[in-house]
Chains A and B, each alone.
Chain A
Amino acid sequence: MGSKRKKTEKQKDFVKKKLKVGKTAAKPDNHTDTSFSSRAISLPNQSLNRKQTSDSLDDKKREEVDITHHLSLVKHHASTTRKEVLSYVEQHLPSNPSLYKNIITSCVPLIVDSSQSVRNQLSSLLIACAKNKPGLLDLHLKSIILFIHSAMTHIQPDIRNSSSVKFLAVLVDYSGSSLVRSYFIKTLKSFFTLLAWTLDDNKKSISLAITTSSATGGSTKKARIGHLLVLRKFLAVALFPNDEDLNGSKVIDISNTCMIHPLSGKYLIPSSSRPYAPLKLFAKEMKTKSSSTQNTTNSSSTGIDDGSFSLHDLSTLSTEDLETRRKVFNDVFLKPMVKNLNNFIKEGGEVGREANSILALIEKLKAETKIEK
């Protein structure tokens, strides 16, 4: 009797129950329901970012909140949104100077934005910021110029074309002296890359420049006009003494003022930002191999040193003063620039005209340096 019951029970265990149509399979006995439902509660009035309008809040704090909120949209995927954000910020520039840092740090990466309209709006925003707060671009020059150089060597031609005309021009107009003191060589080198010019005369670098220029689409005639215009402005600021500061007022010439001691002016608080940057105290310079190990084909010790700079010296030079900038330009950049500008002049048109004006500037520089000698 017992065995029969066991048999039937065993048979029941191993029998597969047939599924009935329209009905789901039965759940096992040890089934646990893990489903859950959630609900969200919206408390817009209690948001940390937004203060209650009914409370008496400062306008400043309100605008800080607004700006911060808008700046968070700078990275929006839609270019129209980004453009609107930039436009809003430009129209509602805060009075609090500390917010400008956030504005600049958030917006500057848009220099290499893929959308033309966004870039246009950004340049207009930068101009408005610079006009509103003189010296702002000086403070953030390091990060801005980083993106500008990146734009000047960008793979996309429209970004390259807008880089110099829009953004570098802004820097030249509003913080030209700081720009040329710290980034003269790098910017000139970027210009050479932009215009597919070479600094070396050897065939390898010429062919490389041509191939990269054709691969990346080159630059249009209109863009070249813009580049040359900005180049002329840049050279004018870099290679000639500047008597006026940002506001158009005369820069104080300390050597002509009556002070307690002739050197008193040097012990005053510096007027430029990052005065100790050229010391490179926190930068570790990579050691470059000397040219003697690289160029073994040349004779070992017959080169006569005439004191002129070469391409290899550019990484170690400091262009804080006018004399060094002029010397670097004369020794390294002048010859290839004149050669390429003459080629542009032969093309004629607006490009030729701009190239001619740059050449006139170079002639003026040559005349001044001869007079000094």
Chain B
Amino acid sequence: MSLPLKHILKELETSPSSVIPILSTLHNNKAILQTISKQDRKHLVSRTLNLTRSPVPYNKWCGVNILFVLSDDYTVLTEDGVHILAQLIKIVEQQSRSGSLLASAVDCLNKVCNQIRGKPTLTREILTPKLPTIISLFMEKLELDPSLFIHSLQTFMKKHPTTFRPFGNKLRARILEFLNSENFSNYPQKLKELVYSTLASLPVIEKTEPEAKWQADVQNLIHEMVQVVLIYREFLNFNDDSELVSIIQKIPQTVGENPAHFKALSVDVNDTRSLYLISERFSILCGILSAFINTDTSFAVRVPMGSVLAMCDIVCSINSRFISFRNDTHDPELKSTIKSTLTLNQISITKLLSKIPAMYVGSVLPHLSNVLSLLEVLIPFSNKRIDASELFNMEQFMADLLECVTNWLNLTSSLSDTTQVLRFIEVALILSEPQDVSEVSSNSSNGAQNTSNGSGKKNKNNKKKSHSSVPLSDLLSHQHLFTSSVSPRTVQIIRQFINATLKKVTIPPTQYYKIMRYIFVEATRAKRYSLESEIPVSLKDLLVDAVLYPGNEGVSLLPLVSSLLGNDPIISVFNNPRFPPLAKYAKTQSEYDIEEEDEEENEEEDEEEEIQVLANDSVKSKPNSVKAEKLHSIDVSAEEPFKRQKIVESEVTQESSTITESIPESMIFKRNEDTETFVKEVTDVVTLEEIPPFTKPESVTPVITHDTSTQLIATVEEDDNSDFEMPSIDVDDDDED
């Protein structure tokens, strides 16, 4: 439904009753603005601008949103762009608190700038003169709505680096103020990420070599992070791990004179809460580093991935499993606080590592095994086994860990070293089991009973026992109600991990059967208990992949999967193949022998050639029959399967031997099984051009057919009657035809 223009103009004279129909008409019906007359356009724009000048906030808001739609029209922009921009800037200046009007005005301003950007004339005449005003205005109003203004400023910085240059330091100072504020860690995640990405985008405004600035910033950031982590040297004996010390020394020092992002941390050992500042600081620095390596830049940079991973190695190695506490840290509360801060650091590192594969894909593949071994260290162990209770306490962290491993595994199509992934598979299997809360509560209630028994007064004990036995009976009768199910996010991550592992890793049988059992039990439950008897898509994918990737097992799970997924198209291809199997020619043993003998024949032919050469040299001295016999002997010495062929040839030789007696010695031709070479040689022999002294005989060169034996005889017969004799011919490979 679109309103007529006259109605719209009338509405805009005063405060419009509803702006939505106007906006939808102007936005959806492009023809209105394209066919509008100049006067009407002027009226429309002027009335809209009047609305924005109105003291009533609602009118202003309506005017701003109509300007948002009108700015799509190029003609409006060219004619009234200056006024629109000026009015919007004025509105933003007037705002003293955040609200919908401020947000709408900033959005409209950004939209107008986007529409103008890229068009050289408009940009030069309208946008560029106003940009410094807009930027300084936004920086001034930053506190009113940080996410809105920082996002806008980041856009201006990326699109207009030269214009933004004078404001770079100021923006950096403002952002560092944000970072250093006490409650920064409690800010919304989106705002934090905006701040990090803006900080990471600052090098773009550099006049010369922004990539060098970027690299310096990253190096300094890594150095700062290591410095933060080195605080733990006060509590832990770093010298226990020699590799840790060597890696720390490899981290490059600061480059240039860039100041650190933060002031020095003050940590009070007596106040355990101040220890958490270390992990907070580290988390912020991790976020900044993540923004640096994941935000796009308009210039090419060299990412120091080795330093980044070395820093991750340091953080993962500072682990109370491998490094002992110092003698002066003996307070158990302090120790547990330090362990929890270390865990928070590891969480930050995991999130950082998780984003790298999506950005750098194959470039980081060489680091895959290193990263997997780093992440393996983060799994809680106790007495050489995975500590399941600790695992459940850190369920979210473990889920993030599995997600990170999945992202890295997706870089490759197959992983040869399965031992790197085994522990993660065990973690996934433990996390997939619902935790029985009744066990925990029964343990605690047992403890309570024990303490109550130690009190001494039997009556009171009896009373206490009677109170505690009543709720405990539910634990026994309705045990299923005390089982906490696995969270959906964890389930999804586990299934994605198992899917990746099935495709890329040859899993050992123990873990393979456990995984398959999990998949089948879950799928059966889902099919039985869901309303439509449908298996979730994630489980369906797992079932299909279980069939497609049987691994080392000799038995396929196709029958089980078919019973669950009867209608799946991929499974139906397995059960009912569409095409007949392609006949694959399988070489039998005799054919192998034939091939070998073919090769041997070729070798023999070569030998025969040599013999023939020798024979031709000595043909005058020896009688033909002897030579024929020699040929015959060569033939007969061939292997048995070819004896038949050879016998034919030997017959030919015998025949020819009888005939050759009457043939001049020079007429004895080398016989080859390959008729083509035979033909060639015969023609070579008989080509008259090579035999200048001779006249062309009456007998024409023999016509070679397939039946070489008869032809040979025929030619021989013809030559018998010829009156000239052929000279001796020396077969030389070097002779050209």
| Inter-subunit contact B584/A279 (CB<8 Å) | no
Known A-B contacts: A259-B584, A279-B517, A291-B385. Give 7 more (CB < 8 A). A258-B586, A263-B550, A276-B555, A280-B513, A281-B520, A287-B436, A319-B509
Which residue from B517, B558, B582 sits with its C-beta under 8 Å from A281?
A: B517
| CB-nearest residue of chain B to A300 | B382
Write 24 A-B pairs (CB below 8 A) sorted by A numbering.
A259-B584, A260-B584, A266-B554, A267-B550, A267-B556, A276-B555, A276-B560, A287-B436, A290-B382, A290-B388, A292-B382, A292-B383, A292-B387, A298-B383, A303-B381, A305-B384, A305-B423, A307-B419, A313-B385, A318-B509, A320-B509, A320-B553, A321-B508, A321-B552
Mark contacts of B375-391 with chain A using CB atoms, 8 A cut-off: 1 yes-contact digit, 0 otherwise: 00000111111011100
Contacts of B552 in A (CB 8 A): 321
Mark contacts of A271-285 with chain B using CB atoms, 8 A cut-off: 1 yes-contact digit, 0 otherwise: 010011011110000
| Inter-subunit contact A278/B509 (CB<8 Å) | yes
| Inter-subunit contact B423/A301 (CB<8 Å) | no
Complex formed: what's the CA distance from A373 to B130 in Å? 72
Q: Does A323 contact B (CB under 8 A)?
A: yes
Most-contacted residue by chain A among B419, B555, B557 (CB, 10 A): B555
Contacts of B422 in A (CB 8 A): 307
Contact A301 B384, CB 8 Å, known A266-B555, A318-B509: no
Contacts of B553 in A (CB 8 A): 266, 320
Q: Does B574 contact A (CB under 8 A)?
A: yes
Complex formed: what's the CA distance from A303 to B379 in Å? 13
Complex formed: what's the CA distance from A319 to B582 in Å? 37
Which B residues contact A (CB, under 8 angstroms)?
A: 320-321, 380-385, 387-389, 419, 422-423, 436, 508-510, 513-514, 516-517, 520-521, 550, 552-558, 560, 574, 581-582, 584, 586
| Inter-subunit contact B509/A301 (CB<8 Å) | no
Q: Does A317 contact B (CB under 8 A)?
A: yes
Q: Does A35 contact B (CB under 8 A)?
A: no
> Would you list which residues of chain A between 244 and 299 have a CB under 8 Å from chain B?
254, 258-260, 263, 265-267, 270, 272, 275-276, 278-281, 287, 290-292, 295, 298
Complex formed: what's the CA distance from A236 to B320 in Å? 45
Q: Does A91 contact B (CB under 8 A)?
A: no
Contacts of A317 in B (CB 8 A): 510
Complex formed: what's the CA distance from A281 to B482 in Å? 24
Most-contacted residue by chain A among B508, B510, B556 (CB, 10 A): B510
CB distance from A138 to the nearest CB of B (A): 14
| CB-nearest residue of chain A to B511 | A318
CB distance from B389 to the nearest CB of A (A): 7
Which residue from B321, B389, B419 sits with its C-beta under 8 Å from A301?
A: B321
Complex formed: what's the CA distance from A59 to B387 in Å? 65
CB distance from A183 to the nearest CB of B (A): 15
Q: Does A24 contact B (CB under 8 A)?
A: no
Contact A310 B384, CB 8 Å, known A267-B574, A281-B517, A324-B508: yes
| Inter-subunit contact B584/A258 (CB<8 Å) | yes
CB distance from A346 to the nearest CB of B (A): 33
Most-contacted residue by chain B among A259, A306, A312, A318 (CB, 10 A): A318
Q: Does A316 contact B (CB under 8 A)?
A: yes
Complex formed: what's the CA distance from A99 to B558 in Å? 31
CB distance from A256 to the nearest CB of B (A): 11
Contacts of A32 in B (CB 8 A): none
| CB-nearest residue of chain A to B379 | A305
Contacts of A310 in B (CB 8 A): 384-385
CB distance from B670 to the nearest CB of A (A): 41
CB distance from A117 to the nearest CB of B (A): 42
Contacts of B514 in A (CB 8 A): 316
| Inter-subunit contact B383/A291 (CB<8 Å) | yes
CB distance from A317 to the nearest CB of B (A): 5
Complex formed: what's the CA distance from A116 to B582 in Å? 60
Q: Does A54 contact B (CB under 8 A)?
A: no
Number of A-B contacts (CB under 8 A): 96
| Inter-subunit contact B555/A301 (CB<8 Å) | no
| Inter-subunit contact B555/A303 (CB<8 Å) | no
Complex formed: what's the CA distance from A317 to B512 in Å? 11
Complex formed: what's the CA distance from A366 to B34 in Å? 87
Which residue from B385, B508, B586 sits with its C-beta under 8 Å from A290?
A: B385
Closest 8 A/B residue pairs (Cβ)? A292-B382, A275-B555, A303-B384, A258-B586, A320-B509, A318-B510, A270-B555, A266-B550
Contacts of B382 in A (CB 8 A): 290-292, 300-301, 303
| Inter-subunit contact A302/B321 (CB<8 Å) | yes
| Inter-subunit contact A318/B513 (CB<8 Å) | yes
CB distance from B384 to the nearest CB of A (A): 4
Most-contacted residue by chain B among A316, A319, A324 (CB, 10 A): A316
Which residue from A254, A266, A295, A319 sits with its C-beta under 8 Å from B383?
A: A295
Contacts of A291 in B (CB 8 A): 382-383, 385
CB distance from B554 to the nearest CB of A (A): 6
Complex formed: what's the CA distance from A260 to B385 in Å? 44
| Inter-subunit contact A304/B384 (CB<8 Å) | yes
| Inter-subunit contact B516/A303 (CB<8 Å) | no
Which residue from A258, A270, A276 sits with its C-beta under 8 Å from B554?
A: A270
Contacts of B509 in A (CB 8 A): 278, 318-321, 324
> Would you list which residues of chain A between 310 and 340 have a CB under 8 Å from chain B?
310, 312-313, 316-321, 323-324
Complex formed: what's the CA distance from A241 to B522 in Å? 36
CB distance from A299 to the nearest CB of B (A): 8
Contact A301 B320, CB 8 Å, known A266-B554, A267-B574, A292-B389: yes
| CB-nearest residue of chain A to B548 | A263
Contacts of A306 in B (CB 8 A): 384
| CB-nearest residue of chain B to A299 | B383
Contacts of B513 in A (CB 8 A): 278-280, 318, 320
| CB-nearest residue of chain A to B423 | A305
Complex formed: what's the CA distance from A292 to B514 in Å? 22
Complex formed: what's the CA distance from A301 to B320 in Å? 8
CB distance from A285 to the nearest CB of B (A): 10
Most-contacted residue by chain B among A259, A266, A303 (CB, 10 A): A266
Complex formed: what's the CA distance from A370 to B369 in Å? 24
| Inter-subunit contact B387/A260 (CB<8 Å) | no
Contacts of A316 in B (CB 8 A): 510, 514
| Inter-subunit contact B584/A266 (CB<8 Å) | no
| CB-nearest residue of chain A to B547 | A267
CB distance from B398 to the nearest CB of A (A): 16
Complex formed: what's the CA distance from A265 to B550 in Å? 11
> Would you list which residues of chain A between 215 and 256 have a CB under 8 Å from chain B?
254
CB distance from A103 to the nearest CB of B (A): 28
CB distance from A284 to the nearest CB of B (A): 11
Most-contacted residue by chain A among B383, B389, B510 (CB, 10 A): B383
Complex formed: what's the CA distance from A280 to B517 in Å? 7
| Inter-subunit contact B387/A301 (CB<8 Å) | yes
| Inter-subunit contact A303/B584 (CB<8 Å) | no
Complex formed: what's the CA distance from A312 to B384 in Å? 11
Complex formed: what's the CA distance from A272 to B550 in Å? 16
Mark contacts of A168-195 with chain B using CB atoms, 8 A cut-off: 1 yes-contact digit, 0 otherwise: 0000000000000000000000000000
Contacts of B419 in A (CB 8 A): 307
Complex formed: what's the CA distance from A283 to B405 in Å? 31
CB distance from B308 to the nearest CB of A (A): 27
CB distance from B498 to the nearest CB of A (A): 15
Which residue from A267, A298, A308 sits with its C-beta under 8 Å from B558?
A: A267
Complex formed: what's the CA distance from A189 to B197 in Å? 61
Complex formed: what's the CA distance from A257 to B649 in Å? 39
Complex formed: what's the CA distance from A305 to B376 in Å? 10
Contacts of B557 in A (CB 8 A): 276
| CB-nearest residue of chain B to A289 | B439
CB distance from A224 to the nearest CB of B (A): 33
Complex formed: what's the CA distance from A319 to B509 in Å? 8
Complex formed: what's the CA distance from A300 to B336 in Å? 13
Contacts of B387 in A (CB 8 A): 290, 292, 301
CB distance from B319 to the nearest CB of A (A): 9
Complex formed: what's the CA distance from A305 to B424 in Å? 13
Complex formed: what's the CA distance from A305 to B378 in Å? 12
CB distance from B436 to the nearest CB of A (A): 8
Contacts of A308 in B (CB 8 A): 384
